[in-house]
Structure 1
Amino acid sequence: MNLGTTILKGRRSIRNYKDEPVPEEVIEQAMECARYAPTARNGQPWLFGITTKKETLAKLGELASHGKFIADAPACFAVFGLRDEKFYVEDCCAATSNLILGLWAYGVASCWVAGDKMDYNEAVRELMKVPPEYTLVSLIPAGYPAMGEKMVSPKKKLFDDITFRETLR
């Protein structure tokens, strides 16, 4: 394996973090990685936000039905997409993946929390004072993994069971 595939295969969804700030350089580099994501017709229909304020993290944790752990994260990124762009979901999902992998390259763990089509979508947008032409696609709490956090790879389907060449069997 090379460095890139090692990073890709080593990433895990982590929900428990040390009480240690994410360095500004890591935050900026992760957002740069998001900015470099592939995008349909080079539309770049995204807006990337970050919060490290405890009160905002607590509010995000209250709002996100499957992201209560955001309240205890040192940082949380938010990816918003332009509602009127045809491929905003695909583009912003690619950016989210890039952001998560950019964090992991620095040893900073994260967990993708859904935003698009969620009940709290508008509340998060308003909390972060994002204009209404944008919609929340994802929240990404981030931090260094807490002691005891499982870094074991979850069981994956077998390669031959999920891949094919030319036609399926």
Structure 2
Amino acid sequence: MNLGTTIIKGRRSIRNYKDEPVPLEVIEQAMECARLAPTARNGQPWLFGFTETKETLEKLGELASHGKFIAGAPICFAIFGLRDEKFYVEDCSAATQNLILGLWAYGVSSCWVAGDKMDYNEEVRKLMNVPPEYTLVSLIPAGYPAIGERMVPPQKKSFDDVTFKETFQD
């Protein structure tokens, strides 16, 4: 394996974090990774933000139906897409994955929390004072894994069960 595949294969969704800030250099490098994600027609229909403010993290945790643990994270990133762009979900999803892998390359754990099509989408946009032409695609709480956090890989389908060459054969 090379460094890139080692990083990708080692990443896990983590929901419990140490009470330790993520250095600004790591934040900026991860956001730079997000910014460099591929997009349809090079549209780059996104806006990336983050918060480290405890009050905002707690409010995000209250709003996100499957992200209550955001309240305990030292930082949460938010990725917004231009709602009128045809491929904003795909483009912002690529950026989200780049952000997550950029964080993991520095040993910072995270967990993808859905934003697009969620009831709290508009409330998060307003909370973070994002212009109305953008819509929330993802929230990424992050931090260093808490002591005892399970880093065991989840059970995944086998390679042969999810791949095919040329045409699919039953």
TM range (shorter): over 0.9
* CA distances 1:70-106 after superposition (whole Å, capped 9, x unpaired): 0000000000000000000000000000000000000
Match of 2:12 in 1: 12
The whole-number CA distance in structure 2 between the counterparts of 1:161 and 1:143 is 33
Shift of 1:42: 0.2
2:74 matches 1:68:
no
Match of 1:140 in 2: 140
The whole-number CA distance in structure 2 between the counterparts of 1:136 and 1:143 is 21
Shift of 1:162: 0.6
* CA distances 1:17-68 after superposition (whole Å, capped 9, x unpaired): 0000000000000000000000000000000000000000000000000000
Shift of 1:2: 0.4
Unaligned runs of 5+ in 1: none
The whole-number CA distance in structure 2 between the counterparts of 1:130 and 1:29 is 22
- Structure 1 letter corresponding to 2:39: T
Shift of 1:121: 0.1
The whole-number CA distance in structure 2 between the counterparts of 1:113 and 1:52 is 17
Shift of 1:6: 0.3
Shift of 1:14: 0.1
2:126 matches 1:126:
yes
Match of 2:84 in 1: 84
Aligned residue pairs, count = 169
- TM-score scaled by structure 2? 0.99
The whole-number CA distance in structure 1 between the counterparts of 2:101 and 2:163 is 23
Aligned ranges 1:35-114 → 2 under 5 Å: 35-114=35-114
Match of 1:165 in 2: 165
Match of 1:115 in 2: 115
Local SS of the residue matching 1:49: strand
2:31 matches 1:25:
no
The whole-number CA distance in structure 1 between the counterparts of 2:108 and 2:19 is 12
- Structure 2 letter corresponding to 1:6: T
The whole-number CA distance in structure 2 between the counterparts of 1:28 and 1:10 is 22
Unaligned runs of 5+ in 2: none
- Structure 1 letter corresponding to 2:54: K
- TM-score scaled by structure 1? 1.00
Shift of 1:114: 0.2
The whole-number CA distance in structure 1 between the counterparts of 2:12 and 2:158 is 18
The whole-number CA distance in structure 2 between the counterparts of 1:100 and 1:26 is 11
- Structure 1 letter corresponding to 2:76: C
Calculate percent identity across the aligned residue pairs. 85
